[in-house]
Structure 1
């Protein structure tokens, strides 16, 4: 990748990557062209070639950077909850709220990237990276709630989140805003019970373990 370190250059590079995410959300990965991205960013057509070897490299880097930033934010949430000694119910509520509030543009771009990867295997590694980061975030949340890496079904949690996100984008009027929280709580509850953490499961279910 071509790199320029000046402050003004970095602003232009960031503008290109934000524009690439927005174009991906609006037109799909196939719509990410030099002209579409530079017009959205308000930059000359040749700007892409100044920073990136190809338009595909720009699209991949933009998605990777955005996904990594979101994963870092969610990881910070997990650490905060851990420091607060939060219980399973607090963890479930916090992560359901955070996952359900992903900006529409970013959610659309992620969905478009996943669909594109199904048709273009050469770009599948980007989606694999995104899913791996997502599973890492889920594992951190599960650990805070009392589940080890082995006990937490991170794939199921991530599939639930992505399914809710897709339904919210496609038919928002039909999606119950509390559905994601109920789903996350149910997965936590099942995982805790299967792992033998009965007290934590009862706490999540809203019952006093000592009763």
Structure 2
């Protein structure tokens, strides 16, 4: 039986293999055999660490929540001014580029929403984390007077998440008309229009 540390590393390696295989093949056609091939293991070896493909995908989605939720919130909390917090939230919420495998597979979860209860739950969970980050920043800025919100805070929050997702999807799809830099600039422009400038 593998040692706990070795077992955890193998699980992380399998999550990374699932992300890479999912980015290559798409979630609709992804199988445990695809993940096993990518990891250089047998299908049975993958099943030693995960009950089934859904179990593995939940773990992959958890990695996304850690990055878009936990890691981003850590970066945001390191800033003192709401305008800086918002700038960091926008920048760290976008994909790093077309080859961002984790973000690509997260958008695939969005596409599959409605096809299974699992995908519905995962997509809603991700949205709630994204929204919480933006909502908290907007509320703090409105409270200290640095933001003068033009509209309802919930609608503004929803628009930030929608822009993040829409631009992110174009970026991972390789649309050269919407680069990371252009998406960031457009979200900063929306922030100014909404009365919460990012700096």
TM-score by length of 2: 0.79
Q: 2:173 maps to what in 1?
A: 170
Q: Does 1:158 align with 2:148?
A: no
Q: Distance in 1 between matches of 2:73 and 2:164?
A: 16
1:185 alignment partner, one of 185, 188, 194 = 188
Which residue of 76, 79, 82 corresponds with 1:81? 79
CA deviation vs aligned residue, 1:62-85 (integer Å, no higher than 9, x gap): 212332233111101110113xxx
> Aligned match of 1:147 in 137, 142, 147?
142
Whole-angstrom CA distance in 1 between matches of 2:25 and 2:198: 43
CA distance in 1, matches of 2:32, 2:58: 14
Mapping for residues 1-211 of structure 1, pairs under 5 Å? 6-82=4-80, 86=81, 88=83, 90-102=84-96, 104-144=100-140, 146-147=141-142, 151-152=153-154, 153-192=156-195, 204=197
Bigger mean CA offset, 125-134 vs 59-68: 59-68
CA-CA distance at 1:101 after TM superposition = 4.1
Distance 1:137 1:205, change over 3 A: closer
**C-alpha displacement of 1:110:** 1.0
**Cα distance in 2 between the residues matched to 1:28 and 1:122:** 17
Distance 1:106 1:42 in 2: 20
Residue 76 to residue 143, structure 1, CA distance change in 2 (3 Å): farther
What is the CA deviation profile of residues 74-131 of structure 1, one whole-angstrom value per residue up to 9, with x for unaligned ones? Answer: 101110113xxx252x344333322234461112101111112243344211111111
Q: Which runs of 5+ in 1 are unaligned?
A: 193-200, 207-211
Q: Give the secondary structure class of the aligned counterpart of 2:113.
A: helix
What is the TM-score when the length of structure 1 is the normalising length?
0.75
The aligned residue for residue 147 of structure 2 is none
Unaligned runs of 5+ in 2: 144-151
Structure 1 moving runs of 4+ over 4 Å? none
Separation in structure 1 between the aligned mates of residue 137 and residue 70 of structure 2, nearest angstrom:
13
Answer whether contact 1:68 1:133 (CA < 8 A) is retained.
Answer: no
- Equivalenced residues, count: 187
